[in-house]
């Protein structure tokens, strides 16, 4: 019998996928690279107990899904001022945030994608795969960095808030959203980092915002369970909508149950409160600025250029140092 061949990501020396589509190094193997949830002892123990308890299977799939969505919609904004979040009444379970991103790309595939430099690498990788056959997307006609040219009517914007590169709210966010309002430019707001921060004010009332998405992957050690949510003020029927329908319920029910129970077990500011002192210590130790997101320190002096994400600052993530998965000297 012929041996089964397992496909692995393209590699040629150190030239891996992130490098291929962004022209930037992949730092996940470095001590402060990437952006990972902290494997906190209490959250890991809670996760394992929830997974081992199978009694949830006696409930109807629709009950599991609805409990997840209602819990998330109450939990996520509980330590922030998310202005207008209550108007996003159409909620769907998603496979992390990436499933929402894919549907956003599909819906607006004929528009010009606008990203901020330093944004989540996944967007550059996917845009490069779909449109560029593996070249740097900045050379494409249907892509432009925010700031390189004005927002135009045929654009579409995707931005993380807090911003992926800094963990802070971009100082240009309100101006950007106002311009998108005026020019009818659709926007997706990615709140994946919002619950590793605390006390933020984010205005979600702008008419241009079509979607608000978030995930538990940065908060709890559940990144491989793909637990996310997509919110809309007006429902747009697509693949995500269909699999969330009561007659289908094709969502991952274990992940939905796990997410709901994790949120019920820990307040939304649990990680922030527990690790804030550690963030302050490490930021002082490495002479970097404190980010609004508790895992990060932001280098504005270019002391750690290996952690560049294509912007003017370098982001250091401390979470794997705290839980022992990485050594500071590795």
pLDDT of residue 24: 67
Q: For 228-242, what is each residue's pLDDT tens digit?
A: 999 999 999 899 999
Helix, strand or coil for residue 249?
coil
The answer to whether 80 and 198 have CB atoms below 8 angstroms apart is yes
Q: For 153-164, what is each residue's pLDDT tens digit?
A: 999 999 999 999
Helix, strand or coil for residue 232?
strand
- The secondary structure of 130-167, three-state, reads HHHCCCCHHHCCCEEEECCECCCCCEEEEEECCCCCCC
Tokens standing for 97? 């945030």
What pTM was estimated for this model as a whole?
0.91
For domain 46-265, is the CATH number 3.40.50.300? no
- Break the chain into its structural domains and give their ranges: 46-265
The answer to whether 234 and 113 have CB atoms below 8 angstroms apart is no
pLDDT band at 19 (very low <50, low <70, confident <90, very high): low
Residue 55 has pLDDT above 80, yes or no: yes
pLDDT of residue 28: 85
CA-nearest of 237, 215, 264 to 93 is: 215
Q: For 128-151, what is each residue's pLDDT tens digit?
A: 666 555 445 555 578 889 999 999
Q: What are phi and psi of 8, to 5 degrees?
A: -125, 155
Beta strands in 15-135 (DSSP E): 81-83, 90-94, 112-115
């Amino acid at each position: 019998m012929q041996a089964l061949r397992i496909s692995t990501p393209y590699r040629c020396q150190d030239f891996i996928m992130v490098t291929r589509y962004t022209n930037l190094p992949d730092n996940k193997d470095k001590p402060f690279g990437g952006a990972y949830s902290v494997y906190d002892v209490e959250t890991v123990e809670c996760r394992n107990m929830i997974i081992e308890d199978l009694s949830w299977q006696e409930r109807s799939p629709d009950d599991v899904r609805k409990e997840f969505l209602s819990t998330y919609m109450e939990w996520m904004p509980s330590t922030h001022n998310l202005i207008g979040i209550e108007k996003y009444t159409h909620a769907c379970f998603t496979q992390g945030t990436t499933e929402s991103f894919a549907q956003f790309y599909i819906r607006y595939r004929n528009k010009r994608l606008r990203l901020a430099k330093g944004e989540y690498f996944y967007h550059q990788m996917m845009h490069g795969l779909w449109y560029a056959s593996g070249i740097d997307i900045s050379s494409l006609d249907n892509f432009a960095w925010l700031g390189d040219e004005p927002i135009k009517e045929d654009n579409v914007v995707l931005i993380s808030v807090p911003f992926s590169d800094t963990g802070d709210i971009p100082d240009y966010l309100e101006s950007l959203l106002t311009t998108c309002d005026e020019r009818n430019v659709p926007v997706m707001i990615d709140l994946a980092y919002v619950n590793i921060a605390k006390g933020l004010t984010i205005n979600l009332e702008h008419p241009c915002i079509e979607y608000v998405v978030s995930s538990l992957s940065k908060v709890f050690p559940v990144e491989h369970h793909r637990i996310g949510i997509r919110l809309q003020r007006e429902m747009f029927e697509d693949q995500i909508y269909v699999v969330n329908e009561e007659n289908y319920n094709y969502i991952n029910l274990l992940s939905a149950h796990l997410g709901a129970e994790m949120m019920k077990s820990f307040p939304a500011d649990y990680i922030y409160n527990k690790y804030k002192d550690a963030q302050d210590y490490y930021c002082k130790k490495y002479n970097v600025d404190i980010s609004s997101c508790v895992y990060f320190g932001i280098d504005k002096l270019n002391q750690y250029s290996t952690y560049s994400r294509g912007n003017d600052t370098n982001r250091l993530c401390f979470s794997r140092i705290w839980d022992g998965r990485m050594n500071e000297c590795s």
